[in-house]
Structure 1
Amino acid sequence: MAVAKALDYLHSIGVFHRDITESNVMARKPHPSTGNRDWVIIDWKTAAFMAPDQGTPRYGPDDVLGIGHLLLGAGVPRLMDDEHDDER
């Protein structure tokens, strides 16, 4: 949820990442006093090389789709490996 909140804030100020994937989201070490982790969005190269019109709200859905893929990957068991051949 922290990544979704961060993207919501970024979109509200007109900033779009456009490449939210598992490899572009990183967890920091847990905070010593609380044990909570901070989640960080990394690798802004795609955003840096976008055409100017791609930094507009109509491109926000790319980030929303990226969050959906992250949630799907984190919350759904992997049923497509060889171990589950009989379930296909």
Structure 2
Amino acid sequence: MRRFRKVLVWLLTPLKLAFALTLHWLAWLLYYADVSSKLSGLTANEMGGFLAGIAAPFAFLWLVIAVFLQRQQLSVRGAELRTSTEALKL
């Protein structure tokens, strides 16, 4: 059970970081949208570019976090397979 908790903490740390960065980014965007009154005057083309610029950092951040978590999970699975292989050899 102790090992499971260690692995769980190891896996949740990147998620906490990603959520914190996402909330920080959203707070900054809300502040920017409140300060800048030019958003209402954008054409559809410009609004699409603006929204793409908002979404791009989120997409990249969560892609990096997903790859990081998969790498950690594969590492844990590999260790479990090595342990079970050693147990079967005995």
State the structure with more CA Rg: 2
Q: TM-score, normalised by structure 2?
A: 0.35
The structure whose RCO (Cα within 8 Å, separation 6+) is larger is: 2
**Normalization by structure 1: what TM-score?**
0.35
More strand by share: 1
